[in-house]
Amino acid sequence: MINMSPEELSILILSLKVGFFSALYSLIPGILIGYLLARKEFYGKVLIDSIVYLPLVLPPVTIGYFLIILFGNQGIIGKFLHEWFGLTLIFNWKGAVLASSIMGFPLLVRAVRISIESIDLQLEKTAASLGASPLKVFLSITLPLALPGVIAGVILSFARSLGEFGATITFVSNIPNQTRTLPIAIYTYSQMPGNDLKISRLIFISIIISFTALFFSNLLEKKIKRKS
């Protein structure tokens, strides 16, 4: 068993908390947008598609900078949240959740979209012809059949949050017990001599968690392909 110090354990718990909430908050929007892109044709779909996947190709630091502009205490949205609700996102773990959610969101949407596209459209049409409303068709046919893809997307989004560095450190900085997640901690320790053992432990933990997440995600993707 890895003998972790209280500081390292705090880093791990914070990382898992950020990953959990980033995946949780992305779930419903990810399902809705994944369904929209998989099943609907509309003007501007290419634009929406491009915006959703933009975090995959933009430098993460760019995302972090835009988060400061939008959600900082003097930002367009952040000022409103701070003054009216007392909610501060910058320089705390809630901001790390927001940054991780944005960076992992495309992976969730992609998994949901692929899963829904693999469902036989005739099943949905048959249910609709029998009088089921669009919402009932979605809840009783589409969503249950797409569940493996949804779970795979959540796992990928969670795993991506564990590796998120650029957007997070730009938006919420590097604050112990607040925003110092696994990748930020590894970077911090690498800048100081005598921390090789700490770095090795945190890297090992990161590899184990990420590998496990990818392993189960791949299993679910194979299940989707067998059904299609």
Percent of the chain with pLDDT over 70: 97
Its pTM stands at: 0.92
Q: What is the mean pLDDT of residues 59-76?
A: 94
On whether the 6-227 domain is CATH 1.10.1060.10, my answer is no
pLDDT class of 1 with cuts at 50, 70, 90 = very low
**Residue 57 burial (CB count, 10 A):** 8
Instruction: For residue range 99-113, list pLDDT tens digits in order.
Output: 999 999 999 999 999
- Which DSSP letter does residue 92 get? S
- Which DSSP letter does residue 54 get? G
Q: Residue ranges per domain, the chain?
A: 6-227
Rounded Cα gap, residues 163 and 182, in angstroms: 7
**What average pLDDT does the chain have?**
92
* Residue 40, pLDDT above cutoff 50: yes
Q: What is the mean pLDDT of residues 151-171?
A: 94
* Residue 2, pLDDT above cutoff 70: no
H or E segment to which residue 142 belongs: none
Q: Shortest CA distance to 37 belongs to which of 129, 134, 102, 106?
A: 106
Which pLDDT score, from 0 to 100, does residue 14 have?
96
Q: What is the mean pLDDT of residues 23-27?
A: 96
Rounded Cα gap, residues 56 and 49, in angstroms: 12
Contact 112, 150 (CB under 8 A): yes
